[in-house]
Structure formats: structure tokens, C-alpha cells
Structure 1
Amino acid sequence: MPASQRSPFSLVLSVIVVSADSGPALRECVRCVLSSSLPLELILVDNASRDGVPPAIERAYAHDARLTVIYSHKNLGFGPAVNLAARQAHAPALLVLNPDCELHDEELRRLLALLADRPKAGLIGAVVCDAGGRPDPASWRRDPLLQRSLASLLGRPGEGVNVEQEIPHETIEVEAVSGAVMLLPSAMFQRLGGFDEGYFLHCEDLDLCRRVRDLGYQVLLAGDVRVHHGRGSSSRHRPVFVSRYKHRGMWRWFRLHDPAARKPLVAAAVWLGIWTHFLLQIPGQLSRLLLRR
């Protein structure tokens, strides 16, 4: 059935992509999704981009009713933008996809089959890989509790937030996955109230995984689904902006989920450590930005 004649009730998947000056990678992301023969819709939320790519995509797919573009006149943040799109989604399954990811038909079908086969699956992630096929360590993560975060900062292998071991080509239960590819039942997303909008950018994916598990459902990593991930052009253009919100997200996750936050002196030390780390990163970020220009 042509997309223009397809009822929203026949859809199996709603794909949500949030763009913020994501650059040419967004074109390939959209092309891959819309090349699928699955009955799906793609909702693209543009967070006040200035690169002209989202309007160009809308023009290129003007006759494809599967694509909806929502324009925001300010940067809402990642989670709020996904929540905005989810309120307009029609399918029973919701896929949150980064604009620099290329997810093809076979991979989409594998993720949907896994979701249908696992009734206790609350959220499913995939292994995100670089251009050389090397998995990103953030594909398989654990809750960023204080001791783990310190271990990551100090470079202690095997003790940090990322699980630094070979990812098996099978489905495994994990604590958290990369937010670049996240598949959920739409009912689960609604039950959770979507992403916590107290996060602007970064750590909202860790928060969502934690809340899925708190409800008694599984977070799964589909080890046999490998997705090319381009590692964010918007982050490269605005490193200090992104880093600021990443550190703010760390602080929010700590306050909400880490038992150590109940100790005032520990919480004060963590707050100081997070923002000191942020400040120390700024010179290097700015120098790398200048070298790219």
C-alpha cells in the first residue's frame, strides 16, 4: 500500500530523529529509514538548526507521507524534542534514533522481532560502531554511580561506566545502552512519561534505562545489530555548549539515582568535581575547535 494511503493504525514503527545542526549525516539517516519496506513513519524534530538540511529533506520527500518534520524556533533539548514527537506518533513501537546513525531495513526488522519476542523487554539498544566497524564502548553501559564514574575518570579498566569487554553477537540483558538507538513499546514510553525534561542533553538515556528497570522490565542490548554511528557533527561545532549540558546531566542523574547523593558532604564534593572537570575541559575544546576552522 502506498504511504499516502496507509492508515496510521497499520503502522508498526514510529522513528523519531532530533536534529540540531546535524549536517549532511542527517540526509543519510533519513534515507536509510525511508528505504525500509516496513510500514513506518519518521518524525523529524528540528531544534532550530541553521544548516538548512531539515527543510531540504522535507522538500526532497514532499510526496512521502511517512515523513513529518516539526520545526522548533528554539533548541528544546533532546528529551523534550523526542517527547514532542512521541505525542504525534501512531505506531505501537517507538524508535529513538540519532541523526548520525544509519539503520537499515534488516536491522529495523531484527529489533522489532526481538521486541515482539521478549514480553519483559522495556527498552532495546543496538551496538553503535564507527566507520571501521569498531563498537563504541558506550553501547554497553552501567549506571554511572559515583564509584564507577570515578573509575572511568581515572581510567581504571573494567570498573567504569562502560563495560569494556567484547560485545557478544547475541542479545544480553544490561543496565544501560547507548541513546543513539533506543527501541521501546510506545506504551512503555507513555508509562514512563517519556524522557525526563529536566535533562537538556546527555544522561537522559541513562535515566530512561534506569526507570525502565525500576518498573521491573529489562533493558536489552541486541549484540547482533550493528549500526554505523557518525559521532555528532552538532557536538563538534559547539563543544562547550554540549559539554555544559553533559555535566549538568551528570549532576541530575547523581541527585536522582545515586544513594551517595543522600550524604550532603559527598554531594557537595561531587558537584564541585563535576563543574571543575567541565571548566578544565574548556581550553582543549576551544583549541580543537579553532584548529578545525
Structure 2
Amino acid sequence: MDPASSHRSPFALPLTVIVVSADSGPDLRDCVQSILASLLPLELLLIDNRSHDGIPEAIERAHAHDHRLTVIYNHHNLGFGAAVNLASKQAQGDALLILNPDCVVQKGDLERLAGLLVGKTKVGLIGAVVCDAEGRADPASWRRDPLLQRSLNSMLNRVGEKVNVEGDIPAALIEAEAVSGAVMLVPRVLFQRIGGFDEAYFLHCEDLDLCRRVRDIGYQVLLAGDIRVHHGKGSSSRHRPIFVSRHKHRGMWQWFRKHDPASEKKLVSAAVWLGIWAHFVLQVPGQLWRLLLLKLRRSMQATAPAADED
């Protein structure tokens, strides 16, 4: 792979924002604009996993004179974690903010997030509350390790400890086992120390793995409950749901095998493998149907002007 990049900032910075795109759609423009609106000295590394929508190129042209933006083009889709790792090698910021391409930060959010690391030597990772357009918090903002018992409780809606922490998220800085991978702030030195994301995960669950490994070496994972970031929730996956779902289920299996003590029991491990992939297969018909409806809507929208003229 031979990535090409544009402008580089010649000075040290408090923050490097890393955004990975892969046919992320128009939301990517809003994400970039919200970052560059910040008054915090920063650099933005937009690393593109071979998009075909032309938006990363358009963004680079639109911000050609802004030295804070660097666009890195990959010749194939490396996966989320591998792309972040690649970008992190070029980063100059003291901290890395890993942000999804369908997230929009509000004025002051970046300054507040970066400030939370100041003077805290044992904080390894900080997340924020991700919300939908109506301001409803995504339960995945405050999570526990997806151990087998918790996952079963969540899936079957049983009484007991679940993966997502139930109840309102306190508007304070609180400790967590895991946070949403849509917004993750990590000291660059620590990210490099633990080897970045585990590239065995292509898409999904690499964030859970990172949180676990941060905690395993004695650092805290925190959630900034009073910082809320709008999240478009999968704008780059609507046109390829089966691809995304396959890697999500694969990530679940990898996390289980790597971190869950239950995986040491062969029969349990076999049952979990069968359950994960049966769940994937059962989702395929519905995903195909939704994809067909999406294509029909787009086709109707594309032909609507011609029909009006007639």
C-alpha cells in the first residue's frame, strides 16, 4: 500500500483527530467541518479506505489552504483499526481523537475532551455520549465487556448484568469498562505502547478490545457523560449491510476467543460459534429486503425530475 497525503503541519499539537472514511456519504463533510471549526490547535487526518463516492477528494479540494487537514488515500479497504493505526504513525498530537465519519462535534467539545487528559497520568481512554438527531443517548456509549453471560442477558432481555449499562448516563466523568468506538480519546504515547488497534478485527469490536487492553495494563477508561456528540449511526454501512454484519459477527467471535474465560471450554466455545453465525444468517433476508427498498427509493428519486418534466 502506498498512501498519498497532502498538507503536513510542521509543529507539535495537543490533538490529532483521526477520521476513517469508506464511502461515508455526505455526513463526512459535516464531520470535517465541525472539527475544523474548533479553535483548539489540532490536525485532522482523514484516512480513506478506497471510497468511490468522491467525497474525500472534494473535501480535500474545499480545504486545500487549511494546513490542519491531511487526507490519506488507501488503495484498498484496510479495515477500521488498520486505517487508524496507519494514520496514528503520522500523528503529531499529544492525544488522538478517533472519530466516526458520521459524527458531528459541537462548539467547545474538542477543547473540553482534550482538557480531560490534562494532569491525569492513569487515564488511558476517554469516550463521550453519542446521540441521535433527537438527542437520545446511544446505550452503547456506556458498556461493559461483552462476556458470555452478559451477552445472553442482553440478547434474551433477562434479569441480570447486561453489556450496556442500564439507566440514565450521569452528566459527569465516570469510569467505564468500555465506551462507544464512535468517539475515543487516547494519549498518543499510550496508543503506541499497546500497539494501537488489533488489526485482526476488520470492522466492529476493535473498540471493545482496545478498552479491555487499556484496562489490562492498569489504565482507566472513562466516559465524559456531559459531552454529547451527534452520531449518524452507520451512514457508510446502509448500502452494504451484509458486509458490515459479517465483520461485526466475526468481531464478536474474535473478542470472545481472545478475552472471555468461557472460550476455554470447548463445548461452550462451539455453541457460541454456532450461535453467532446462526444469528448472522438469520439477519440476511431482512438486510437484503431493506437494501432492495433502499435501491428502489434511490431509483425513484433519480427519475422523479424527469417525470416532472413530462
Q: Same fold (TM over 0.5)?
A: yes
Of 59, 62, 81, which aligns to 2:61? 59
The answer to whether the 8 A contact 2:129-2:228 is kept is: yes
Shift of residue 156, structure 1, vs aligned partner: 2.9
CA distance, structure 1, for counterparts of residue 181 and residue 94 of structure 2:
20
Q: Report the counterpart of residue 127 of structure 1 in structure 2.
A: 129
Tell me the equivalent position of 1:290.
292
**Structure 2: how far apart are the matches of 1:137 and 1:280?**
24
2:150 and 2:160 in contact (8 A); partners too: no
> Which letter does structure 2 place at the counterpart of 1:8?
F
Amino acid across the alignment from 1:217: Y
1:256 aligns with 2:258: yes
Aligned to 2:211: 209
1:8 aligns with 2:7: no
Q: 2:238 aligns with which of 224, 236, 239?
A: 236
Shift of 1:180: 0.2
Give the TM-score of the pair, scaled to structure 1. Answer: 0.96
Question: Identical aligned pairs, as a percentage?
Answer: 72
Superposed displacement of residue 179, structure 1 = 0.1
Alpha-carbon separation, structure 2, partners of 1:76 and 1:6: 25
Secondary structure at the residue paired with 1:220? strand
Which residue type is aligned with residue 280 of structure 1? L
Structure 1: state its 5+ residue gaps. none
Tell me, in whole angstroms, the C-alpha distance in 1 between the residues paired with 2:228 and 2:269: 38
Q: 1:90 offset after TM fit, Å?
A: 0.6
Equivalent positions of 1:13-24 (< 5 A) are 13-24=15-26
SS in 2 for 1:8: coil
Contact 2:125 2:221 in 1 (8 A): yes
1:159 positional shift: 2.7
- Distance in 2 (alpha carbons) for counterparts of 1:164 and 1:117: 31
What is the distance in 2 between the residues matched to 1:5 and 1:245? Answer: 33
* Corresponding residue number in structure 2 for 1:268: 270
Q: What secondary structure is seen at the aligned counterpart in 2 of 1:261?
A: helix
Q: TM-score with structure 2 length normalisation?
A: 0.91
Question: How many residues get paired?
Answer: 289
1:43 partner amino acid: L
- Is the contact made by 2:206 and 2:251 (CA closer than 8 Å) also made in structure 1? yes
Q: CA deviation at 1:7?
A: 3.5
Give, in whole Å, the separation in 2 of the partners of 1:229 and 1:161: 20
Partner of 1:280: 282
- Deviation string, structure 1 residues 188-224 (Cα, Å, up to 9, x no partner): 1001100000000000000000000001100000000
After the TM superposition, list the runs of 4 or more consecutive aligned residues in structure 1 that deviate by more than 6 angstroms.
none
Deviation of residue 26 (structure 1)? 0.2
Q: Secondary structure at the residue paired with 2:52?
A: coil
> Which whole-Å CA distance do the structure 2 matches of 1:86 and 1:166 have between them?
34
Question: What is the alpha-carbon distance in structure 1 between the residues aligned to residue 60 and residue 161 of structure 2?
Answer: 45
1:99 aligns with 101
Offset of 1:5 from its aligned partner?
A: 10
Superposed CA offset, 1:168-196 (max 9, x none): 10010000000000001000100110000
Partner of 2:128: helix, strand, or coil? strand
Greater Cα radius of gyration, structure 1 or 2: 2
Q: Secondary structure at the match of 1:279?
A: helix
1:207-254, CA deviations, whole angstroms, 9 ceiling, x for partnerless residues? 000000001100000000010001121111110000000000000000
Q: State the AA in 1 paired with 2:11.
A: P
State the 1:158 CA deviation.
5.6
Q: CA deviation at 1:84?
A: 0.5
What is the distance in 1 between the residues matched to 2:80 and 2:55? Answer: 18
Question: Match of 1:262, as an amino acid?
Answer: E
- The CA RMSD over aligned residues, in Å, is 1.3
- Matched AA of 2:134: G
Deviations 1:132-172 (A, max 9, x none): 00000000000000011111111236632111210010010
